[in-house]
Amino acid sequence: MSTNGAKGNHLIEVRDLVKHFPLTKGILFRKQVGAVQAVDGVSFDVIEGETLGLVGESGCGKSTTARLLTRLLEPTSGSINYKGQEIARLSRNDLKPLRRDMQMIFQDPYSSLNPRKTVGSIIGEPFVIHEVESDAGKRKKRVQELMDIVGLNPEHYNRFPHEFSGGQRQRIGVARAIALKPKLIVADEPVSALDVSIQAQVINLLEELQDELGLTIIFIAHDLSIVRHVCDRIAVMYLGKIVELADADALFAHPRHPYTGALLSAVPIPDPRLAKGRNRQVLGGDVPSPTNPPPACRFHTRCSKAKDGVCNVEEPLLEHKDGGNLAACHFPLTDQEIARRVPTAAA
Amino acid sequence: MALLEVKDLRVHFETEDGVVQALDGISYSVEAGQVLGIVGESGSGKSVSSLTVMGLTRAKNARISGEVLFDGKDLLKASEPEMRALRGDDVAMIFQDPLSSLHPFYRIGDQLVEAVRAHRDMPKAKALDRAVEVLGQVGIPEPRRRVDAYPHEFSGGMRQRVMIAMALINDPKLLIADEPTTALDVTVQAQILELIDRLRQEFDTAIVMITHDLGVVAEVTDDIAVMYAGRIVEYADTESIFAAPEHPYTWGLLKSIPRLDLPRDEPLVPIQGRPPSLILKPPGCSFHPRCPYVRDAHKRIDPQLAPTAEGVNGGRHKVACLLPPQSRRQLWTELVAGATPEDAKERVAVPEEAVDQEAVDPTAVDQEAAR
């Protein structure tokens, strides 16, 4: 099955990926009483050189998906095919060469850097771990080159993380991630903790590096305006499932899944005239618990278009809808509905 | 008379490293039923300003001057018991982090009842009824049942609603919301913003909303104050801030966020550098090290907040910028048309010694001349 009509070389192919975190009871005799179904059967491809966005509310499984891809977590079932190699079941040792190719940038620049290490040794550590550069002098030179690339002053080699601002710390994280020239970078909310004026600096840096180094980026964020700006394709997740997957332009011009529509409708627009003129659709309630998700379409409890007897009985599949979006919905949004609710709808 | 009037408020903290000039003379006012947005980056003093209004910055090392008039009474001169009587009653505050602002040991209902009984002599059962009523108002389903829940049983958005309920339970005249939606998902953010808007309409509450997100303030505020390095650098009604901003820092903020209503490939223009230290502020205009349009004179002269040349809205639009008004408008026109700051700078001729006389404090000029 060509899951999402993705064109180009597939760097990663994910099929039916599942991650359930068991909930146990008892101390001596532990028995499983349930499971948090963090990721429940997602399939998608990542194309070489693209930026794929993963969006959704907190608890939808986007970070878990990213950690499964980089194999920081062991999948419960499903397959992850990286450049023709099945990596879902690889052991720690067999994973090591892979770790060079996949790097992560984390959300919180304050807690993702060891406060007792100098910036030089933080950025230089990948070289040590992967035994790429054993000569300390040469390593220092390479680290300083990296610092220069990401816009840090190479003279600050011996400083500690606390001497840097949030934006600069995120640059340190970026330098560490690109040290071994990886193929794939997974950026988990890389700018959410930064001030607006600094966010743009880090986003521009990531885009430049992608052009120069030919990186593939998986970009996780909850800020849809940023995702739209950065990503080529976007997957929208809800309660452990992908509910819609489309090119960025298509997704914002004509979202087909009612959940995507609601997300887009909720984004605040920094223009008072437009903001007052639009018909906002406010999604009521909260995301249901992933330990006991609603049956069939998981969104039916909050969906304005849900029909009893259909949406709560039959699970919708991720299929092509009008305009080429892949959406998992029995009653996708029509163009009229989109025009009313979504600020980015194609006129 | 305005409900809250802040006049020339200064807050300095003495620390081992030097004096932190957190607030350096800010003035604003809010009327009943009005929403004022205070926008700025971390370290711009936006939170200190509201904490000071609440009397929460009174520390041994703090030097506070100016006036905070609430209903005509100067809160800076009020005693601690007087402030305690006011906080949570006539003046309430919503904090950013709903996770850490609720006590994990006590039931939601108990915490709300305590908020009522701290200010009113009311039997417990009646206070609980009031708690249920307010929880319903902020959109918590089945409030009668949920008052018995503990905070950990609530999601982030629900906890923020509880915080809002607690702030509203005594019908405050003034509500200060410090980044009320920052920790929340967009969908929940939309719910909370709608709620805040309803409050203003139904209860005529005056609201000060502090945020770094321009999108959030665009939707609910009447006026906006943009803060930078402890000062208000631009003040105007919400429409003017977005349609005709006059300060280069405001331009930078507007240009550095991606917008859903603009083409996707519109490049982001970050503001270079980073916010200044509040201990060693740059001389002259504090924004000059990051300003693409800086002139030599701007490094010496400290600009004052002055009404803009075109008195739209009765001269309510004020800006602290030394660029000549003419150049400011031309620069913004270029930026709107898609020019980068570098291009705009080349196309608009700004004389080297150009200074907007409106923004110059005459006493400061005399001092410089004397030197």
- Is there a contact between B270 and A198 if contact means CB atoms under 8 Å apart? yes
Across the interface, which of A195, A228, A248 has its CB nearest the CB of B41? A195
* DSSP three-state, residue A170: helix
Across the interface, which of B41, B264, B269 has its CB nearest the CB of A248? B264
What CA–CA distance (Å, rounded) separates B245 from A337?
34
Of A69, A176, A67, A195, whose CA–CA distance to A114 is shortest?
Answer: A176
Assess whether pLDDT exceeds 80 at residue B356. no
CB A113 within 8 A of CB A122: yes
In the prediction, which pLDDT does B312 show? Answer: 55
- Here the tokens at position B255 are 């240009």
Predicted confidence band of residue A234 (pLDDT cuts 50, 70, 90): very high
Chain B environment of A341 (Cβ under 8 Å): none
- Here the tokens at position A189 are 């909310």
CB B261 within 8 A of CB B277: no
In percent, the amount of chain B with pLDDT more than 70 equals 95
Element (H, E) at A101: helix A92-101
What CA–CA distance (Å, rounded) separates A68 from A221?
17
* Least confident range of A179-183, A285-289, B281-285: A285-289
Assess whether pLDDT exceeds 70 at residue B260. yes
In the prediction, which pLDDT does B363 show? Answer: 65
> What single string gives the DSSP state of each residue in A281-304?
-PPPS-PPPTTSPPSSSTTTTT-T
pLDDT digits (tens, 9 = 90+) for A324-338: 899 999 999 998 888
What CA–CA distance (Å, rounded) separates B49 from B93?
13
- Is there a contact between A267 and B156 if contact means CB atoms under 8 Å apart? no
Predicted confidence band of residue A23 (pLDDT cuts 50, 70, 90): confident
Q: What is the mean pLDDT of residues B13-42?
A: 92
Of B244, B249, B301, whose CA–CA distance to B274 is shortest?
Answer: B249
Residue of B nearest to A270 (CA): B215
What CA–CA distance (Å, rounded) separates A77 from A59?
20
Of A110, A116, A104, A278, whose CA–CA distance to A179 is shortest?
Answer: A104
Residue of A nearest to B39 (CA): A196
Predicted confidence band of residue A6 (pLDDT cuts 50, 70, 90): low
In the prediction, which pLDDT does A273 show? Answer: 78
- Here the tokens at position A250 are 């298509």
Assess whether pLDDT exceeds 50 at residue A2. no
**SS in 3 state form for chain B?**
CCCEEEEEEEEEEEECCEEEEEEEEEEEEECCCCEEEEECCCCCCHHHHHHHHCCCCCCCCEEEEEEEEECCEEHHHCCHHHHHHHECCCEEEECCCCCCCCCCCCCHHHHHHHHHHCCCCCCHHHHHHHHHHHHHHCCCCCHHHHCCCCHHHCCHHHHHHHHHHHHHCCCCCEEEEECCCCCCCHHHHHHHHHHHHHHHHHHCCEEEEEECCHHHHHHHCCEEEEEECCEEEEEEEHHHHHHCCCCHHHHHHHHCCCCCCCCCCCCCCCCCCCCCCCCCCCCCCCCHHHCCCCCHHHHCCCECCEECCCCCCCCCCEECCCCCHHHHHHHHHHHHCCCCHHHHHHHCCCCCCCCCHHHECHHHHHHHHHC
To the question of pTM greater than 0.90 for the whole model, the response is no
d(CA A80, nearest CA chain B) in Å: 29
Residue of A nearest to B224 (CA): A272
- Here the tokens at position A227 are 């995702």
d(CA B263, nearest CA chain A) in Å: 9
CB B3 within 8 A of CB B175: no
- Is there a contact between B261 and A274 if contact means CB atoms under 8 Å apart? yes
Across the interface, which of B191, B243, B268 has its CB nearest the CB of A282? B191
Residue carrying the six token digits 């994973």: A95
What CA–CA distance (Å, rounded) separates A17 from A30?
26
If one counts every other C-beta atom within 10 angstroms of the C-beta of residue A140, the result is: 17
Chain A environment of B185 (Cβ under 8 Å): 57-58, 222
- Here the tokens at position B235 are 């003040």
In the prediction, which pLDDT does B118 show? Answer: 93
Q: What is the mean pLDDT of residues A197-224?
A: 90
In the prediction, which pLDDT does A346 show? Answer: 57
> What single string gives the DSSP state of each residue in A18-69?
EEEEEEEE-SSS-EEEEEEEEEEEEEEEEETT-EEEEE-STTSSHHHHHHHH
* DSSP three-state, residue A219: strand
Strands A77-82 and A241-247: unpaired
DSSP assignment, residue A315? P
d(CA B194, nearest CA chain A) in Å: 9
What CA–CA distance (Å, rounded) separates A199 from A164?
16
pLDDT digits (tens, 9 = 90+) for A130-177: 988 888 999 999 999 999 989 889 999 999 998 888 888 999 999 999
Chain A environment of B269 (Cβ under 8 Å): 200
What CA–CA distance (Å, rounded) separates A60 from A38?
7
Assess whether pLDDT exceeds 50 at residue B246. yes
In the prediction, which pLDDT does B365 show? Answer: 58
Provide CB contacts within 8 A for B103, sequence distance 6+. Answer: B111, B151
SS3 content of chain A, % helix, strand, coil (to 5): 35, 25, 45
Q: Which of A197, A229, A236, A338 to mutate to test the interface with B (most CBs of B within 10 A)?
A: A197
* Least confident range of A203-212, B275-284, B344-353: B344-353
What CA–CA distance (Å, rounded) separates B55 from B77?
10
Of A288, A232, A267, A241, whose CA–CA distance to A343 is shortest?
Answer: A267
CB A80 within 8 A of CB A68: yes
What CA–CA distance (Å, rounded) separates B49 from A287?
35
Question: In chain B, what are the domains?
Answer: 4-221 (3.40.50.300), 254-370 (no CATH)
- The sheet with strand B62-70 has its strands ordered as B18-30, B4-15, B62-70, B73-74
Q: Give the bridge partners for B209, in sequence order.
A: B37, B177
Q: Tell me how far apart the terminal alpha carbons of chain A are, to the nearest angstrom.
A: 33
Q: What is the mean pLDDT of residues B153-170?
A: 87
pLDDT digits (tens, 9 = 90+) for B180-210: 887 778 888 888 888 888 888 888 999 999 9
- Here the tokens at position A146 are 């990296």
In the prediction, which pLDDT does A288 show? Answer: 85
Residue type, A202: V
- Is there a contact between B155 and A262 if contact means CB atoms under 8 Å apart? no
CA angle, residues A276, A282, A286, in degrees to nearest 5: 150
* Least confident range of A55-59, A226-230, A277-281, B306-310: A277-281
In the prediction, which pLDDT does B371 show? Answer: 54
Across the interface, which of B188, B219, B267 has its CB nearest the CB of A268? B219
Strands B91-94 and B174-178: parallel
In the prediction, which pLDDT does B367 show? Answer: 60
Predicted confidence band of residue B362 (pLDDT cuts 50, 70, 90): low
In the prediction, which pLDDT does A3 show? Answer: 47
**SS in 3 state form for A220-248?**
ECCCHHHHHHHCCEEEEEECCEEEEEEEH
Q: Which of A224, A229, A243, A254 to mutate to test the interface with B (most CBs of B within 10 A)?
A: A229
pLDDT digits (tens, 9 = 90+) for A101-115: 999 998 888 888 999
DSSP assignment, residue A156? G
Q: Which residues of A196-222 are buried (b: 16+ CB within 10 A; e: fewer)?
A: bbbbbbbbbbbbebbeeeebbbbbbbb
Q: What are phi and psi of A293, to 5 degrees?
A: -70, 155
- Here the tokens at position B134 are 């307010």
In the prediction, which pLDDT does A271 show? Answer: 82
In the prediction, which pLDDT does A1 show? Answer: 41
* DSSP three-state, residue A81: strand
- Here the tokens at position B107 are 């039931």
pLDDT digits (tens, 9 = 90+) for A261-309: 999 888 888 888 777 766 777 787 778 888 889 999 999 999 988 999 8
Residue carrying the six token digits 């249920």: B132
Contacts by B196-204, CB closer than 8 A, 24 or more apart: B196/B35, B196/B164, B196/B220, B199/B168, B199/B175, B200/B33, B200/B34, B200/B35, B201/B33, B203/B168, B203/B171, B204/B32, B204/B33
- Here the tokens at position B198 are 């309803």
Q: Which residues of A42-71 are buried (b: 16+ CB within 10 A; e: fewer)?
A: bbbbbbebbbbbbbbbebbbbbbbbbbbbb
In the prediction, which pLDDT does B364 show? Answer: 61
